[in-house]
A and B are shown apart, each in its own frame.
Chain A
Amino acid sequence: MTFRYLPMTDQDKKEMLETIGIETTEDLFQDIPEEVRFKGRLQIEEALSEPQLVKEMGRLAALNKNTKDHASFLGAGVYDHYTPSIVNHMLLRSEFYTAYTPYQPEISQGELQAIFEFQTMICELTGMDVANSSMYDGGTSLAEAGLLSAAQTRRKKIVVSKSVHPESRAVLHTYAKGQHLEVVEVDTEDGVTSLNALRAEVDEQTACVIVQYPNFFGQIEPLKDIEEIVHSAKGMFVVSSNPLALGALTPPGKFGADIVVGDAQPFGIAQGFGGPHCGYFAVTTKLMRKVPGRLVGQTVDEDGKRGFVLTLQAREQHIRRDKATSNICSNQALNALAASIAMTALGKQGVKEVAHQNIQKAHYAKKVLEEKGFKTSFTGPFFNEFVIELKCTAKEVNRKLLESGIIGGYDLGLSYSELKNHMLLAVTEMRTKEEIDQLANVLEGLACVQNISH
């Protein structure tokens, strides 16, 4: 059988074997001891031709309800946002996606410059001094912020608010276990971190306090008050932030954050069943030499011409091995490129406009639902997500919504025992007034959720 990715002909093979001075390719595998040689044929599916393959993968894809054919109100960390058409076109420039990490700067200036621009844009949005070239995702980036804080302060206690994404908290717990760190979760009050509970937990053993802004419920955390509590105990202030929200909200850097992390998925990155997305990691200058992952820096070549290189590599695993600041090697470079292109396309005006449309549409949706008699859970300011109370399970409601072509919200009962039958709804700029009204109408029509507060 011949394969289109394998160019070797019988003639090539014959010539190559002659050059090597052996009879068959088998001779090249004699160093694999007989006892461990695999003698059968791998029991995996048989090869498919290109048309057969497209058909089979198309069949699998068609089994999934997608957000192109359905109006989605599901967010909870992953969002359906406007992606300019050019993002995909530029990503498919194969000089980008078929390249390795830019360790040979002379032939990687394109990638290096794009990442330098990414770092700059993340700094602009977060109000921080330094941003790295990307992390796997928001969750692992948050966990690494916890590890950095512990290493920097030489303290063992990480304090995290329960209003931080439940999956990010779960990842943080796993990472902390590896480093023998303690993770303490702080209760919320009216959908935001309880300041009293926080004060009670933060002490001289606290490496950092981690909050999310806007938080998992969409609420805007009182960063100003939290900053005072953390810094008065000399802990690090870590904020996980949706970077799109920062088009409208005061950046965490302005509130004295030491580390800002998050996921750039809202910028041109497909929801893709949860990955690959694009973690970002931004810090103050003071922590510049402690950040995990790759950094691109500007320099000059022998002729004095501007160029870019990977820099401060003495932090990284390939140089420092067991003393590295992190074990991260591959990151999410191509998705950082996608985010850069999307941030560039939106630009100064667009990022603000899109963020404000999210605020407006989400508030409109909340108002319409309240007018129909639904109870919303929290009273504080929010960005593009809010919580409503249901009389039956979110699962049942979502099943009904799907019949009307709507992907409903996130079932908060899955992560918060006190929020059974509560649904987190996300309303982005992609949702039209008509879709929002339809959501409200369908919900109103469901026997199990009707007229709750009346």
Chain B
Amino acid sequence: MRTEHQSLIFELSKPGRVGYSIPELDVPEINVESIIPSDYLRTEEADLPEVSELQIVRHYTALSNRNHGVDSGFYPLGSCTMKYNPKINEDVARFPGFAHIHPLQDEETVQGAMEMMYRLQTSLAEITGMDEVTLQPAAGAHGEWTGLMMIRAYHEANGDFNRTKVIVPDSAHGTNPASATVAGFESITVKSDERGLVDLEDLKRVVDQDVAALMLTNPNTLGLFEEHILEMAKIVHEAGGKLYYDGANANAILGFARPGDMGFDVVHLNLHKTFTGPHGGGGPGSGPVGVKADLIPFLPKPVLVKEDDLYKFEYDRPQSIGRVKPFYGNFGINVRAFTYIMTMGPDGLNQVSENAVLNANYMMRRLEPHFDLPFTQHCKHEFVLSGRRQKKLGVRTLDIAKRLLDFGYHPPTIYFPLSVEEAIMIEPTETESKETLDEFIEKMIQISKEAEETPELVQEAPHTTVVKRLDEATAARKPILKYSKQV
């Protein structure tokens, strides 16, 4: 990574420079003022940069050098499944027959795209054990909201208008309660027990006739499998509620267990996590939703179906929750995910989860002597350490994370789940080699020693990055959210 100052593109601008090339206008020009009223013609130009092509290329190359991706180095960010993003996926998504087709073209002219989508949704239904899948939601949170809207429509179709509550565990992702709110529900928290699993007694306490659904990640955000899933399903189902599966952690169970077999009624997957999306610096993602048969009528419109040998978008779905997104989802991400599934096949996907879980357990056991491990059973694809031992020495989890930056790593997820003090959540994924894991483990052990011997080295980290710790408090107190020319 380069360390020198990087100008904003606006600061490189000089009047008269251009970075584009389009043909001269080849139709007879008419006076625009004769066709558009003057009030609606822009008088003050949008102050976009004026830079040459090489300046642009240098600018974005320099910016990329100030960024860390999976290709740059190990990225054990818990709950985010930062696995390798295959290059072939990028090639395929750019095929003109996928990238340069319009969503409103006649269906006859896009049968290949529709076939791809159909085969993907069929594969995802099998992988999750659900009866039907929609590819429309744009990301995980969008899928959560879509699923909850369907659950609401299902209850209402049964004349049941009083189910106002959605239960989420205290360890749930923030999107769960936020999605519940957007879907018009109130979220109720259920506690975890001392083993990090949902407390069954507390679940029984909060489940009543007002419950619309329980949202659950399994394995949960501590990386632990909810062993009592069948009992939980029974408790919720007997009260008339539905079970929602947050697929953020699906990378742990491919071919080992399926949400549909655990009693879940609705599932979303994050294709940008488990199925190599990629993450794109924060998106675009894709959050397909699978449902059991009794929820099929409520799927968002349109539903992709196959009739004889023709693929069709079906709009006549009277009980559908309606549209959740223009067109048919983040198709380009779906192309990548399908390419990945076709690369791995049934045995490959199974091996993905086996290796992901083995990698996580290996790291956990090697780090256990050096950091507190609140939950000691085998983990699934990720595990959570606590930095409370180091905190007593004056070194916080944040400091440990920043120190890891000096060694070229993206740090683990920190301070999440909220139920663990000074949490450090590590997810290695299956695409990392043992050598990479060993090197990272060594650095973690070194940092734990530094916390004892030279704590200031950790407290003042990072030492090697292009900027040091940033003043986030001032950023929020006096927000500067765009560039303004100095006058």
Contact = CB atoms under 8 A, between A and B. Distances in A.
A136 B331 CA distance: 12
B159 interface: no
Interface string A56-72: 11111111111111001
B118 to A, nearest CB: 11
A199 interface: no
Interface string A119-143: 1110111000011011011111000
A73 to B, nearest CB: 10
9 contacts: A20-B361, A46-B345, A109-B466, A119-B482, A140-B326, A170-B301, A175-B182, A270-B99, A352-B42
Given A54-B92, A273-B102, A329-B175, A305 B465 contact: no
B187 interface: yes
A348 B46 contact: yes
Interface in A405-454: 407, 410, 429, 432-433, 436
Contacts of B68: 95, 99, 104, 107-108
Contacts of B354: 25
B306 interface: no
A331 B20 CA distance: 28
B123 interface: yes
Contacts of B69: 94-99
B313 to A, nearest CB: 11
Contact of B138 (A140, A326, A360): A140
B469 to A, nearest CB: 6
A304 to B, nearest CB: 9
Nearest to A383: B36
Contacts of A322: 177-178, 180-181, 186-187
A195 B285 CA distance: 40
B230 A113 contact: no
Interface string B42-78: 1101111111010011011111111111111001010
A74 B18 contact: no
Interface string A292-329: 00111111111101111101111011111111101111
Contacts of A399: 106
Interface in A33-55: 33, 35-38, 41-48, 50, 53-54
Contacts of A139: 323, 325-326
Contact of B257 (A36, A272, A361): A36
A60 B79 CA distance: 33
Contacts of B105: 65, 74, 407
Contact of A247 (B46, B111, B113, B230): B46
Contacts of A16: 358-359, 361-362, 434
Interface string B373-392: 00001101000000000000
**Size bracket, chain A contacts:** 35 or more
Contacts of B110: 63-65, 273
Nearest to B146: A174
Given A74-B105, A95-B71, A321 B284 contact: no
B67 A7 contact: no
A286 interface: no
B8 A108 contact: no
A28 B40 CA distance: 66
Contacts, number: 695
Contact of A37 (B65, B94, B257, B284): B257
A335 interface: yes
B327 A42 contact: no
A318 B301 CA distance: 29
A167 interface: yes
Contact of A1 (B13, B56, B348): B348
Contact of A99 (B13, B67, B106): B67
Contacts of B229: 33, 36
B357 interface: yes
Given A64-B113, A288-B481, A300-B471, A174 B71 contact: no
Interface in A343-397: 343-354, 356-357, 359-361, 363-364, 381, 395
Contacts of A133: 282
A238 interface: no
Given A64-B110, A350-B19, A360 B348 contact: no
Among A134, A348, A353: residue with most chain B CB under 10 A: A348
B22 interface: yes
Nearest to B231: A33
A64 B109 CA distance: 5
B115 A60 contact: yes
Interface stretch (B23-31, B206-214, B289-297, B450-458): B23-31
A188 interface: no
B274 interface: no
Contacts of A309: 470, 472, 475
A86 B48 CA distance: 17
Interface stretch (A153-161, A176-184, A203-211, A228-236): A176-184
A397 to B, nearest CB: 11
Contact of B109 (A27, A28, A402): A402
Among B66, B434, B469: residue with most chain A CB under 10 A: B66
Contacts of A284: none
B40 to A, nearest CB: 5
A276 B471 CA distance: 33
A88 interface: yes
Interface string A237-271: 00000000011111100000000000000000011
Nearest 5 Cβ contacts at the A-B interface: A274-B327, A61-B97, A63-B112, A47-B345, A274-B103
Contact of B106 (A251, A319, A395): A395
B402 A106 contact: yes
Contacts of B127: 42, 44
A178 B150 CA distance: 10
A142 B28 CA distance: 37
A100 B10 CA distance: 26
A138 B325 CA distance: 9
A6 interface: yes
Nearest to A113: B63
Contacts of A432: 23, 26
A47 B472 contact: no
Contact of B53 (A45, A296, A320, A345): A345
B487 interface: no
B326 to A, nearest CB: 4
B5 interface: yes
A108 B66 CA distance: 6
A147 interface: yes
A161 B453 CA distance: 67
A350 B348 contact: no
B285 to A, nearest CB: 4
Contact of B20 (A35, A80, A90, A345): A345
Nearest to A345: B19
Given A120-B482, A177-B322, A348-B49, A354 B30 contact: no
B326 A171 contact: yes
A391 to B, nearest CB: 19
Contact of A53 (B88, B113, B380): B88
Contact of A42 (B51, B343, B346, B434): B346
A384 B256 CA distance: 53
Given A114-B60, A137-B138, A347-B19, A273 B331 contact: yes
B326 A77 contact: yes
Contacts of A108: 66-68, 281
A136 B466 contact: no
Contacts of A28: 357-358, 361, 378, 380
Contacts of A131: 481-482
Contacts of B227: 31-33
B461 to A, nearest CB: 9
Contacts of A56: 342
Given A101-B279, A121-B48, A357 B25 contact: yes
Nearest to B351: A6
B479 A288 contact: yes
Given A82-B20, A329-B141, A33 B98 contact: no
B273 to A, nearest CB: 10
